[in-house]
Amino acid sequence: MSTSPLIKYVLPAAAVGLVGFAVVSSNRPPREQTEPLLTAPTSPYQGKVAGIGVVEPSSELIAVASELPGVVREVAITPGAKVKRGAPLFRLDDRALRAQLEAAQAEAAQAEAALAAARVALADEAQRLGLFEAVEDKRAISQDELKRREFAVRRAETAVVQAEAAARAARAQARVVATDLDRLTVRAPIDGVVWRVNVRPGEFAQAGPVAEPLVTVGASETLHVRVEIDEADINRVQPGAQATGSFRGDATASIPLRFVRFEPEAVEKRALSGGAERVDTRVIEALYAFEPGAGPTFIGQRMDVFIEARPLLVRKSGDGAATGEPS
């Protein structure tokens, strides 16, 4: 009598599989509950709207540009330096403009000398005309000579007017060159702190907008955090609502925030925290102010922000679906 294939092949294979499973199960390490390395931020408010904020100066970051192109000869600041408005940041090569300024100043001096000579000539002609006009008996002088003296005075007056115009033009040209020379020194637009320096001596500084700012400057006394609020939650947040924030990696240190304003334009969401966030979400940006604490605070640092908001009530519609609206 032949042995059934089920008994001959299947049952032994199943037995081997069960034995292997038992061995693997017995060697599996015990599971232990572990705590996260970083504490998750928590909200102090019952009704809240959460958002991701980015730290920026209260003046916003000012990308300082060069008005004229040229090679950088001197950089007068370093990142983190405090500057006053008008303080030099960096200077471009000014040798060519200095030579032009000397030439323009020489032309202006020559024009001033010509003007002085024209005024002396006018005074001389006016004096001669005065001698003829002082004669009481007009029959004693030639009328033709008198007319020539009058014409000479008019010519001298015209020469003075022309010399004055030439002197003004020469002075204006000298001022133009002096202004361009001063524009080669890029200065701080406000009192604040230099947050970043992206220019070095010997590099070429392009005029106008550039992909990476040459120097960024901003205020430092008060910092702002720009918080992105989902457009679906904005009707729950009132202007002046209280808010707190904490920096990434230090959720236990809650920082009180002071409302500044809402930006009037909705923009696309930029601060993504990962996961299944929609990248096509539009947000309203809210600005909150805070004082720099004892710890280091960096521009561009992210902050988890909780804003006090009206709680969202969930109610059921007629078809049984849950809908939410602010209370």
Per-residue model confidence as pLDDT tens digits over 50-81: 888 999 998 899 999 999 999 999 999 999 99
What pLDDT is recorded for position 210? 86
By CB atoms closer than 10 A (0-12, 13-18, 19+), residue 61 is middle
In this structure, is residue 3 part of a structural domain?
no
pLDDT surpasses 90 at 237: no
In this structure, is residue 130 part of a structural domain?
yes
pLDDT surpasses 70 at 282: yes
In this structure, is residue 25 part of a structural domain?
no
248 and 289 assigned to the same domain: yes
74 and 131 assigned to the same domain: no
318 and 226 assigned to the same domain: yes
C-beta of residue 269 within 8 angstroms of C-beta of residue 206: no
Final residue in a domain of this structure, among 163, 183, 203: 183
179 and 256 assigned to the same domain: no
What pLDDT is recorded for position 155? 92
Q: Which of 289, 304, 300 is nearest to 245 (CA)?
A: 304
Query: Distance between alpha carbon 156 and the CA centroid of its chain, in Å?
Result: 57
148 and 268 assigned to the same domain: no
By CB atoms closer than 10 A (0-12, 13-18, 19+), residue 179 is exposed
285 and 310 assigned to the same domain: yes
In this structure, is residue 4 part of a structural domain?
no
What pLDDT is recorded for position 14? 67
What pLDDT is recorded for position 81? 92
119 and 257 assigned to the same domain: no
**What residue numbers bound the domain in which 319 lies?**
48-58+221-326
In this structure, is residue 268 part of a structural domain?
yes
152 and 230 assigned to the same domain: no
133 and 113 assigned to the same domain: yes
In this structure, is residue 15 part of a structural domain?
no
147 and 283 assigned to the same domain: no
73 and 209 assigned to the same domain: yes
Number of domains observed in the structure of the chain:
3
177 and 196 assigned to the same domain: no
